[in-house]
Amino acid sequence: MIVVGVDIGSTTAKAVVLNESATIWSAIIPSGNSPPSAGKEVFALAVKNSQHTMEEVSYVIATGYGRVSAEFANKTVTEISCHGRGANYLNPATRTIIDIGGQDSKAISLDEHGKVIDFMINDKCASGTGRFLETAAELVLRVKLQDLGTLSAKATDTPNISSACTVFAQTEMVSLLATGVPVENLVAGLHRAVAARVSSMVKRIGIKPTVMMTGGVAKNSGVIAAFRKELNIDVVVPTNMDPQLVGALGAALIAQEMAKNGGTGRV
């Protein structure tokens, strides 16, 4: 028997399969313009990767912003609880989680048992999100998203990008480019701006070590470095797993508990 956690985000859909001996398989695909079908697709793909069949699936939990339309799931759970569970599994010392997804960012506080005790979701503004980094990189700076980390490591200076609004921030970068500021410096500035926006939220729930960063943006070493500087504390990323999968992993872990409790009990 296997359980599956499916995390349907705005940019990517992720799924994690767990078997009884806690072996992990996964799949990631772009969400495209139809999160419901992306959820279904990634679910099937992950099961296929695990070389199990759909009939062997005993419990499915969907999370992420597309969770409401996931009809295949036995239950839906918010990203907050899933990231909490996933991070706690990967590193039980985790007390604070920073998750930057495509469309929003979150700060989560855990107690010593891995239970969520406080959280925050950014409200309205896109400037602390993966989408912001992506558009700024590809449309303004004309660099690839995955190169941002290496580029910012070469920065000689970190210009201040002060606008809180993404539209204005992009205008600001365009004018900085025009004055001859090198791209790598701008990338460093961009990372700092994102880290500053999200750090505010982290401070509001209270920073306690260990701080773990999850979500796709955690793959960008430049952002991690900017967070370390902004929060003045070490920030770790999952080492044995793609940080993008933490939410789906958490969903799968919760699914496992649910399956054990016959799908009704509390965890």
Residue ranges binding another protein (CB under 8 A): 65, 77-81, 104, 115-117, 119, 121, 123-124, 162-163, 196, 199-200, 203-204, 254, 257-258, 266-267
Residue (152 or 199) nearer to another protein, CB = 199
Cβ nearer to another protein, comparing 99 with 184: 99
| Closest CB to another protein among residues 134, 257 | 257
Alpha carbons within 13 A on the beta-carbon side of 56: 14
Nearest approach, Cβ of residue 39 and another protein (Å): 16
Which tokens is 2 given?
A: 């296997």
Distances (CA, A) of 202 to 84, 93, 124: 14, 17, 16
Contact 91, 99 (CB under 8 A): no
Q: Which is nearer to another protein, 45 or 247 (CB)?
A: 247
Please identify which residue in the block is written with the tokens 């921030």.
169
DSSP state of 146: G
Backbone φ and ψ of 80, nearest 5°: -55, -55
How near is the Cβ of 101 to another protein at its closest, in Å? 11
Cβ 40 to another protein shortest distance, Å: 20
Alpha-carbon distance 43 to 9, whole Å? 13
Question: To the nearest whole angstrom, how small is the minimum distance from the Cβ of residue 21 to another protein?
Answer: 23
